[in-house]
Amino acid sequence: MTQRQLFLTYNAQTSEAPLCFEVSQANGVYLFDEAGKAHIDLIGGISVCNVGHGNRQVIEAIKMQVDHYLHVMVYGEVIQSPQVQYAVALASRLPDKLQSIYFTNSGAEAVEGAMKLAKRATQKSKIISFKKSYHGSTQGALSVMGSEYWQQAFRPLLPDIYQFEYNDHEVLECIDGSTACIILEPVQAEAGVRIPDQQWLRNIRKKCDETGCMLIFDEIQTGFGRTGSLFRFQEIGVIPDILLLGKALGGGMPLGAFISSKETMHLLTHNPLLGHITTFGGHPVCCAAGLAAFNYLVLENLIHSVKAKEELFRALLIHPAIRKLSSCGLLIAVHFDNFETNKKIIDRCIEKGVFTDWFLFADNAMRIAPPLIISEEEIGKACSIILEAINEIEC
């Protein structure tokens, strides 16, 4: 049997038509298929590989940590230097109210931990989320996902969840004394890169302060330079009570985190004891890799050029078939008439050497979220291939 046949036979599938792109190697901004053909990676592992594939500092950090120890104990009981060092590095770049980091295995687990923390801190149960939001596929995270299409097969989900349209001021009336938290993305990624009104976010922050509701920002996709700042909340001047990180946090290794104040996070230590636990969360190898990627991101000042690269994509991707291009840094959605057209263009791009896909809640839009190290020359080449693919499909 071929690798493709083995994959389809023995690996559980997430869709009836997986891409079945066989990766043999990845380096920089390139993925190489089984035949050795290079493809410019415009997905970046869904905003994971911000410092590029095969980053030498990340690889060396992994090798060094493997020589010391792998898993030794469940999270939170013993001192593991990669966890400590990474927590210190993150805290040094975060405001005073976000200084206590709880490492998890993934972004979805960070969502779960944050929801529990908000309920524990407020002693309330009501949670507010938004339509076309994506927070993960676990039961709790799925409960606040903004789409009945993905929820309906798994109900009943968590009760006391209220959903509103993103950027709609009606939500302000629902935030009251019974609300534990409101969870939102400072940029809605899977909705096709929707940027909220900054005053709307400020109004939400003000209402949360007035009612004792906790504000959770899901920066799992937008963190680590993706939008042009280290974290999106820094650009908009609204500080959450709980910050969620994942994806690029691990430098290519599985890692998530929810972050709050020391006082708030301490509530998970008693009544009950071990209020939130994880066996592998903050795995030392993952933390070592994440810290190396974080240091590389900062020291190489990769964030500085993100906005200019965004503008280059916008300047080059002009075509009558492109109905709209929405972007926030190197998180870009290229909108076409419908999913069928978009899928044909995506498939042709992959054939021609550009790896991309679509958005969950905007399936008519092509995703562009490359490693932040992508060069202007590589952007130009990728855009030329995209335009060629459009012309070939249009014909």
**For the segment 322-348, what is each residue's pLDDT rounded down to a tens digit?**
999 999 999 999 999 999 999 999 999
Cβ-based neighbours of 111, under 8 Å, separated by 6 or more: 135, 136, 138, 140, 141, 144, 183, 218, 244, 258
Same domain membership, residue 123 and residue 157:
yes
pLDDT, tens only, 48-81: 999 999 999 999 999 999 999 999 999 999 999 9
For residues 229 and 201, is the Cβ–Cβ distance under 8 A?
Answer: no
Same domain membership, residue 321 and residue 253:
no
Same domain membership, residue 344 and residue 238:
no
Same domain membership, residue 294 and residue 353:
no
Domain count, the chain: 2
- Region 95-104: mean pLDDT is 98
Which residue, 271, 299, 327, sits at the end of a domain? Answer: 299
**What is the rounded distance in angstroms from the CA atom of residue 111 to the CA atom of residue 67?**
32
Same domain membership, residue 36 and residue 67:
no
Query: Is residue 222 classed exposed, middle or buried when 0-12, 13-18 and 19+ CB atoms within 10 A define those classes?
Result: buried
Alpha helices in 152-221 (DSSP H): 198-211
Same domain membership, residue 109 and residue 13:
no
HSE on the CB side for 100, CA within 13 Å? 16
Global confidence as pTM: 0.97
Q: What is the CATH number of the domain that holds 185?
A: 3.40.640.10
Which residue, 299, 320, 341, sits at the end of a domain? Answer: 299
Same domain membership, residue 46 and residue 82:
no
Name the percent of the chain lying above pLDDT 90. 95
List beta partners, residue 25: 32
Angle at 151 between CA 347 and CA 146, to 5 degrees: 75
Same domain membership, residue 285 and residue 381:
no
pLDDT at 186 over 80: yes
Same domain membership, residue 268 and residue 345:
no
- Which pLDDT band holds residue 195 (cuts at 50, 70, 90)? very high
pLDDT at 205 over 90: yes
Domain interval for residue 135 = 56-299
- Which pLDDT band holds residue 20 (cuts at 50, 70, 90)? confident
Q: What is the CATH number of the domain that holds 12?
A: 3.90.1150.10
Which residue, 299, 329, 344, sits at the end of a domain? Answer: 299
Same domain membership, residue 146 and residue 275:
yes
Joined together, the tokens standing for residue 76 give 């939170």
Same domain membership, residue 321 and residue 377:
yes
Q: How far is CA 343 from CA 22, 239, 393, in A?
A: 19, 38, 10
Same domain membership, residue 191 and residue 337:
no
Cβ-based neighbours of 142, under 8 Å, separated by 6 or more: 136, 150, 151, 154, 157
**What is the rounded distance in angstroms from the CA atom of residue 20 to the CA atom of residue 311?**
32
